[in-house]
Amino acid sequence: MSKPPVLRAENITKRYGKKVVLNNASLSICERELKILIGPSGSGKSTFLQCINFLVTPDRGRVWLDGREILRTHKRDLNAYRQKVGMIFQDFNLFDHLTALANVEIGLTRVRKMGKEEACEKAMQELDKVGLRDHIAKYPAQLSGGQKQRVSIARALAMDPEVMLLDEPTSALDPELITEVLAVIKDLRANGMTMIMSTHQLNFASEVADEIIFLEDGIIVEVGPPDKILYEPECERTIQFCSKMRELYGNSR
């Protein structure tokens, strides 16, 4: 059980003006683990995830990947690090001017400098994995939300990341489409992908998470296995939040 963590973030703090959106948040994750961040909107989940790969620059805090500290001032190191940390966004952020296939290829050809043919083959494989073989020639505007999110997962997977960060991957989808994206994430989980994910899908969290982290007002309030956090939380705020979410989305038990 003493495996070293793949990714470690320590004391991440972020302020916007006077508002502290993230206060000394720390987290570490071992290979093949899935950790889920929950918490009300504005609690800092997104900021936390984006600070981990420096899409948002933290005011304070350090991040290690495979025991090596990431210095964000070293542009080359930072870009190499980001290649190894896949990111999935709430609103997909597919490149709108590129087809599904080209969206997946571009990281391979432009960042990993892979040859065109090899990149195409790999991109096809990744799109096949997320069930989009028939949609490779479509542009983002021609895809449904669920399909877009699956393309974005394929785009991240194509880089062969060591860790994936998923920032509310289903929050912009209607209920029917949520299932197809969650199914892909379960697949990833089954294949041993290391993931940190923020979500409001507590049922999903209780099913698949190794650990749940409850965040509020930028502070990590409570951490523990799903059964504890979702059903026997210690903190008053966690209890309130979880019962409200259950009221909204139904109980999984």
Residue 179 interacting with another protein (CB under 8 A): no
CB of 38 to another protein, least distance (A): 22
Which of 148-156, 174-182, 211-219, 241-249 is the region at the interface with another protein (rule: CB under 8 A)?
A: 148-156
| Nearest C-alpha neighbor of 81 from the set 90, 89, 71 | 71
Q: How far apart are CA 148 and CA 115, in angstroms?
A: 25
Residue 75 interacting with another protein (CB under 8 A): yes
Q: Contacting another protein (CB under 8 A), which of 13, 28, 93, 144?
A: 93
Token pair for 203 = 């049922």
Q: Contacting another protein (CB under 8 A), which of 15, 72, 138, 228?
A: 138
Q: How many residues bind another protein (CB under 8 A)?
A: 33
CB of 166 to another protein, least distance (A): 12
From the CB of residue 197, how many other CB atoms can be counted at a distance below 10 Å? 26
Residue 82 interacting with another protein (CB under 8 A): yes
Classify residue 17 as exposed, middle or buried by CB count within 10 Å of its CB (0-12, 13-18, 19+): exposed
With contact defined as beta carbons under 8 Å apart, do 199 and 182 qualify? no
Residue 146 interacting with another protein (CB under 8 A): no
Which 213-232 positions form the footprint of another protein (CB under 8 A)?
none
Which of 26-34, 82-90, 232-240, 243-251 is the region at the interface with another protein (rule: CB under 8 A)?
A: 82-90
With contact defined as beta carbons under 8 Å apart, do 17 and 67 qualify? no
Q: What is the CA radius of gyration of the chain?
A: 18
Residue 96 interacting with another protein (CB under 8 A): yes
Q: Contacting another protein (CB under 8 A), which of 80, 207, 227, 232?
A: 80
Q: Contacting another protein (CB under 8 A), which of 36, 70, 94, 182?
A: 94
Residue 113 interacting with another protein (CB under 8 A): no
Q: Which is nearer to another protein, 89 or 241 (CB)?
A: 89
From the CB of residue 88, how many other CB atoms can be counted at a distance below 10 Å? 24
Residue 139 interacting with another protein (CB under 8 A): yes
Helix axis angle, 145-157 to 175-190, nearest 10°: 20
Q: List the end-to-end C-alpha distance of the chain, in Å, as a whole number.
A: 30
